[in-house]
Amino acid sequence: MGLPVYNGENFVAGAIQCAQAQTFPNWELIICDNSSTDRTVALCREFAEQDSRIRVYQNARNMGVCFNFDKVFRLSCGKYFKWISHDDLFAPQFIERCIQELEKDERVVLAFPKFSYVDAHGRVLRRQASELSVLGPTAESRIEQFMALAAQSTDFLWLQYGLIRRDVLEQSGSMGWYAGSDHIMLFRIALHGCIKQIEEELFSRREHLEASTCKRGSTVRERAKFAYADDNRRLVLPWCRMLKEHLVCVLSSPIPSWGRLRCTAAVLKRFLTAWKFFVEEAMHSPIDALRSK
């Protein structure tokens, strides 16, 4: 398991305790702090002193969230890998149930349970709106399912907190150092194999005022630097970048030409539904670039 964190003293202890409570005992927890200014590191080291399965690292400066997500994976060594967000919760059976699904069917490359959204106090706000299994027998059938999920709601994004085969992450690349790279990573995973959602509800996605996913009003350049601190581009076009990366994944995938055509059609169909984001990007990104001079 890998826990990338920055200024998470409010919830990080709860996330670590979720790891310690797992019914599957053979785990490691890699924590990498992104140069926090609060008590996050001190809290994490207190846990590490009491539990040898926990290792704590700290970046000399804040390198951005995507850099840190990638780093905890590179520092890990298990057969399976799971990212942990400092403010989310997961049940004691999470790892055990996911391993059961992965061991049962080698076609499954990512396992993830049903989940709910909760508030800062853990009270349920709502439950997932979409069924998240992607079980097609071919890469193109899975990509058609996955792109349909991406167009329905943002629920699919939390699949990144499932249990993933390490070799698949190594082959496909983990988290890229740019905004939207989580979309691309999950897309590559779907190209490699099936995603299985477990029927039990074992995960809680916390929504609170300090959560990065709940913040509004930042510019595209600010979001780019939030992903990777050394991203100094003036003109940032995240939706164009995501479209390009999806298509590159398809073209470089070792599947038949007809399958590539179906995948390409599914990608274009999904991004057509997001045309408003491309328009907004075309209007605001150049202005943001001029302001940065």
Q: What is the pLDDT of residues 168-199, one digit of tens each?
A: 999 887 888 998 999 999 999 999 999 999 99
- Among the candidates 188, 212, 236, a domain finishes at 212
Residues 204 and 267 in one domain: no
Residue where a domain stops, chosen among 193, 212, 231: 212
Residue 223 sits in the same domain as residue 202: no
User: Average model confidence (pLDDT) for the chain?
Assistant: 92
Which pLDDT value is given to residue 214?
A: 45
Do residues 157 and 262 both lie within one domain? no
**pLDDT at 213 (0 to 100):** 53
Sign of the four-CA dihedral 218, 213, 72, 29? positive
- Do 236 and 144 fall within a single domain? no
Q: Do 199 and 224 fall into the same domain?
A: no
Give the pair of three-digit tokens for residue 242: 């995501």
Q: What is the pLDDT of residues 92-144, one digit of tens each?
A: 999 999 999 999 999 999 999 999 999 999 899 999 988 999 999 999 999 99
Cα-flanking dihedrals φ and ψ of residue 212, to 5°? -65, -30
Residues 92 and 129 in one domain: yes
C-beta of residue 142 within 8 angstroms of C-beta of residue 230: no
Q: How many domains does the chain have?
A: 2
Predicted local confidence at residue 237, as pLDDT: 87
178 and 85 share a domain? yes
Torsion-angle region of 64 (φ positive above 0: left; ψ -120 to 50: alpha; else: beta): left
Is there a single domain that holds both residue 102 and residue 222? no
Residue 41 backbone dihedrals phi, psi, to 5 degrees: -60, -45
Which domain covers residue 256, as residue numbers? Answer: 217-291
Please check whether residues 149 and 19 belong to one and the same domain: yes
**3-class SS at 74?**
helix
Shared-domain flag, residues 208 and 222 = no
User: Do residue 238 and residue 164 come from a single domain?
Assistant: no
Same domain flag for 67 and 147:
yes
pTM for the full model?
0.92
Tokens 């509004």 sit on residue: 216
Rounded mean pLDDT for each run of 10 residues along the chain, 293 residues in total: 96 97 96 97 97 97 95 95 96 98 96 96 92 95 96 93 96 86 96 96 89 64 89 86 96 94 97 89 73 62
pLDDT computed for residue 215 by the predictor:
53
